Amino acid sequence: MHPKIISPTTAEQLPHGLLELLSERPKIFVLTGAGVSAESGLQTFRDKRTGLWAQFDPRRLATADAFVQDAALVWGWYEWRRQELLKAQPNAGHDALAALQSQFPSFTLVTQNVDDLHERAGSSSVVHLHGQLLVSRCFDCGRKQPTPNPAIGHTLTPQRVQPPACVACGGLLRPDVVWFGEELPADELESARKASRECDLFLCIGTSAEVYPAAELPHEAIDAGAMLVVVNEKRTPVDRSAHHVLRGQSGTILPLLERAARFARLRGDL
């Protein structure tokens, strides 16, 4: 497929086919990635200049082996990430998705993000495929528990911090996020797969779509007959499978989409 790539600045410039579908009360599936939180000041992962992986080695920080090797290094890095998150606020993109959810009876929001900005913007029933920064679990017994308050003050760079002990067995706490080589939470992945196969409109927003199995979801939706719309500042591997590519920042494009959906539904109601 050769999707038309546009950079809309008004709701009226959105593709006609998309507006028409929005007027028909489609089942909507949204997959978000780090790009949605970039305008809130949180670093993405793979940007060549500003991404976390440009600055930090994921093999030393985001694998179970890394934790076994040097738990204080890993925990300190996540403490720093949590502090960055606590300073951040949802942006116009998060707000627009929360408003869009309130318009459509069937709306599934699946995020790869480990932050809580969708929830803070008012989205409900958010499916976190890669876990959450503010939740911890025991590396030994697996028991989930809230993360104790950050041990260090606001620092500009990560510092080594010894992980706290599990309330149940005294083992070391780890962040309840999905590291490379680990399985995604089974219930979340299953509900995401099911909803992606059942949706009419799949919005793939602010993700490089390079990490599996999340990156399979848009393809499952297309294979089942959905319209795929990509919202991203840059090219991604799913662009070529998309019906429409909306090039730009999610904080600009999603409010247009939300506005267009309101008008399209009004027209559909007439």
Chain residues 203-262 in contact with ligand BJW, contact rule CB under 6 A: 206-208, 210-212, 232-234, 236, 249-251
Sole binder of ligand BJW in the list 114, 161, 192, 242 (CB under 6 A): 114
Q: Establish if 181 lies at the interface with ligand BJW (CB under 6 A).
A: yes
> Which one of 94, 118, 130, 243 is the catalytic residue?
130
Query: For strand 144-146 and strand 173-177, is the pairing parallel, antiparallel, or unpaired?
Result: unpaired
86 vs 169, which CB is nearer to Zn ion?
169
Segment (H or E) for 146:
strand 144-146
Per-residue mark of binding to Zn ion, 16-55 (x: CB under 5 A): ----------------------------------------
Rounded-to-integer distance, Cα 114 and Cα 96, Å: 19
Contacts 24+ apart (CB under 8 A), 264-270: 264/19, 264/20, 264/22, 264/23, 265/22, 265/23, 265/25, 265/103, 267/23, 268/22, 268/23, 268/24, 268/25
Q: Which of 84, 49, 91 is nearest to 154 (CA)?
A: 84
Catalytic, 219? Answer: no
Q: Establish if 183 lies at the interface with ligand BJW (CB under 6 A).
A: yes
Rounded-to-integer distance, Cα 167 and Cα 138, Å: 9
Choose among ligand BJW, Zn ion, none what residue 166 binds, the Cβ cut-off being 5 to 8 Å by kind: Zn ion
Sole binder of Zn ion in the list 171, 185, 211, 216 (CB under 5 A): 171
Q: Establish if 141 lies at the interface with Zn ion (CB under 5 A).
A: yes
Segment (H or E) for 53:
helix 52-55
Q: Which residues bind Zn ion (CB under 5 A)?
A: 138, 140-141, 166, 168-169, 171
Residues with a catalytic annotation lie at: 130
